[in-house]
Structure 1
Amino acid sequence: MSTVFLKSIVHGARYFPLWSALAVSQWRSFDVRSRSLGTTFAAVMRWFPPARRSFDREARRVFPNMTRGARAKLGQSMGKHMGRTLFKLYHDAEFQAQHHKFRVSGPGLDALKEAHATGKGAIIVSGHFGQWEAIRAVLRQNGMESGAIISTHKNPHYARRIRAGIEEGGKPILSTGRAGTMALVRHLRSGGIISILLDEKYPEGIRLPFLGLDALTSISAAQLALKYDLPMIPAYGIRIDDENAVQVIFEAPIAHTDSVTMTRAFNDSLSARILANPDQWYWLLKRWDGA
């Protein structure tokens, strides 16, 4: 039996639980299906020891005085949010049609409109926090479109489904790496908007404080903003109203200074959002490993 065939079996087996959870509720309403996947992921965080331990290790770094029971509840709530986030990512076209659920605020949207009107590109920075795809949905409602940068998932089943969902939210979809960077530069120079989730560990990055702890951080978004004189705008989609609506906040563009100062300002912005709603951030990114 070949190694390729064995990997294919393993990938299929790992994808099957999620496929099953999505398939079994497909005849239900959008909101019911979303809650259902959230409930499933909350159960995973409660009953699957590897996920529970990984979350507890990361949360304990930031909340050392929180009781173990409180961290367990926080982990289950995070699982619920991530299940709902993933569902909407997989069904992005349906999600973008939920206009009545978006509450929009912040000066950054006007800055984006101004850049777009003058044919200038822009960089939106956010994190694996809340319903981040709501940011691009609001842009569509305002006559704009944002591409995104993704890292290809090792499991081809996840990779295919995630990419298809993200493409429904806006194009182009660019991969990390040299070719993706060159395409990104062309997109920005032609007046395009790109959304970047800037909270993953970047081994070639520099150590900057994130949630009070040093974390290897990419400064490339700020470097591009400075080089091409583009606005770099933090934006967040935060679930509100018993999680049935999303508050989409476009903060003011980060002042152009230097790439380290600008990236640190974003880290501080995202950290404040997470501390206010810790269950809406995906804690399993291994953000501080190797820092």
Structure 2
Amino acid sequence: MLSRRLRSSWHHVRYLPLLSALTVTRWRSFEARSRNLGTAVGLVMRWFPLARRKFTREVRRVFPDMSRTDRARLSGNMGRQMGQTLFEIYHCAEFQAQQDKFTVSGPGLAALEAAKAAGKGAIIVSGHFGQWEAVRAVLKARGMETGAVYRPQSNRHYQRRLLAGIEAGGKPILETGAIGTKALVRHLRSGGFIAILLDEKYTGGERLPFLGHPALTSVSAAQLALKYGLPMVPAYGIRTGDGSRFDVVFEEAIAHTDSHSMTLAFNDSLSARILANPDQWYWLLDRWKGA
């Protein structure tokens, strides 16, 4: 009983800073509130020792010659954009209503429209890069509501807000794990669309190069695409301008070969996006741990 109370109290304590940041500016515009949370997270990234050390370790792996000044700038910019992303996910209904801020391009959109017209499902693959929810916002506005796979949060307050935000972006929302996988297969076979972020470490995955280093990577998305004959389309919501507008790019569907080659093609696609805009990727994923 005491342990549960302590855990509940710790959940409140951890959530309080975010709740305060979201509440104190709630009377302001969507863009202003997004920038405010972005500024707060950017400061945490730049000055909180644990986050800074972890960020430095990962960035040095990919950019060994980057100066300390440039790393500090990158850390702050990444934190700012991730704070904006978090705000937009928590307020996803408002975010999705701002279609005038999305510029859409790329051959992958036609592939998804063709799948929809044929009554087939589709797999959209992306990463914790830019604003990944912009991809689902664009698809939902075009009549292609897209579900998502997500990893539940340990803090119940974060979990409640995160799940509500993701659900506003499109359903179904499926947890990682065996039960979620069964529901995912049913959804795809019935003609549904699903978005999967493939840049998290997957203990049972294959060691595939990512940003030039081996990383444990799930090949399940490619396996499903092959098994059920579905398009697997890399897509990205890239922040532009002051960070409140987005280039939503649907790359060409990955050619059906084998799960290893297809997943490697995605890793290469995301790596190229990160190298072009390193401040738009979340560097704290422990992407190469255990590989």
TM-score (norm 2): 0.99
Q: Which residue of 2 aligns with 1:266?
A: 266
> What is the aligned partner in structure 1 of residue 162 from structure 2?
162
* 1:244 to partner: Cα distance: 2.6
Partner residue of 1:208?
208
Unaligned 5+ runs, structure 2: none
Residue 92 (structure 1) aligns with:
92
Q: Which residue of 1 aligns with 2:7?
A: 7
Aligned to 1:220: 220
- 1:34 alignment counterpart: 34
* 2: CA distance, partners of 1:23 / 1:135: 27
2:284 match: secondary structure? helix
Q: CA deviation at 1:200?
A: 0.1
Distance 1:175 1:106 in 2: 29
Query: 1:195 is paired with a residue of what secondary structure?
Result: strand
For the residues of structure 2 that align with 1:113 and 1:197, how far apart are their CA atoms? 21
Q: C-alpha offsets along residues 38-71 of structure 1, whole Å, 9 cap, x if unaligned? A: 0001110122111111101110100000011211
Aligned to 1:242: 242
Counterpart of 2:14 in structure 1: which amino acid?
R
CA distance in 1, matches of 2:180, 2:125: 17
Per-residue Cα deviation, 1:142-192 (whole angstroms, up to 9, x for no partner) = 111000001111111111110000000000000011110000000000000
3-state SS of paired residue (1:285): coil
Give the partner amino acid of 1:129. F
Aligned partners of 1:191, 1:143: CA distance in 2, in Å? 13
Counterpart CA distance in 2 for 1:43 and 1:133 is: 24
CA displacement at 1:243 relative to structure 2: 1.6
Cα distance, 1:221 vs. partner? 0.2
Which structure 2 residues correspond to residues 68-147 of structure 1 after superposition, within 5 A? 68-147=68-147
Cα displacement (A) at 1:241 = 2.0
Counterpart of 1:60 in structure 2: which amino acid? R
Residues in 2 aligned to 1:98 and 1:33: alpha-carbon distance in whole angstroms = 15
Q: Which stretches in structure 1 are left out of the alignment for 5+ residues?
A: none
SS at match of 2:75: helix
Q: Deviations over 1:215-264 (max 9, x none)?
A: 00000000000000000000000001222310000001000000000000
- How far apart in 1 are the matches of 2:186 and 2:103? 32
Give, in whole Å, the separation in 1 of the partners of 2:12 and 2:223. Answer: 40
Structure 1 stretches of at least 4 aligned residues deviating more than 2 Å after TM superposition: none
Number of corresponding residues: 291
How far apart are residue 119 of structure 1 and its match? Answer: 0.5
Aligned to 1:234, what secondary structure does the other structure show? strand
Q: C-alpha separation between the residues in 1 aligned to 2:179 and 2:108?
A: 29
Which residue in 2 is equivalent to 1:67?
A: 67
Task: Among all aligned residue pairs of Structure 1 and Structure 2, give the percentage whose two residues are the same amino acid.
Answer: 68
Check if 1:182 corresponds to 2:182: yes
1:72 deviation in Å?
A: 1.1
Distance 1:255 1:21 in 2: 44
In structure 1, give the amino acid aligned to 2:212: G
TM-score (normalised: structure 1)? 0.99
Q: RMSD in angstroms over aligned alpha carbons?
A: 0.7
Instruction: Look up the equivalent residue of 1:40 and give its one-letter code.
Output: A
- The AA in structure 2 aligned to 1:260 is H
Q: Secondary structure at the match of 2:74?
A: helix
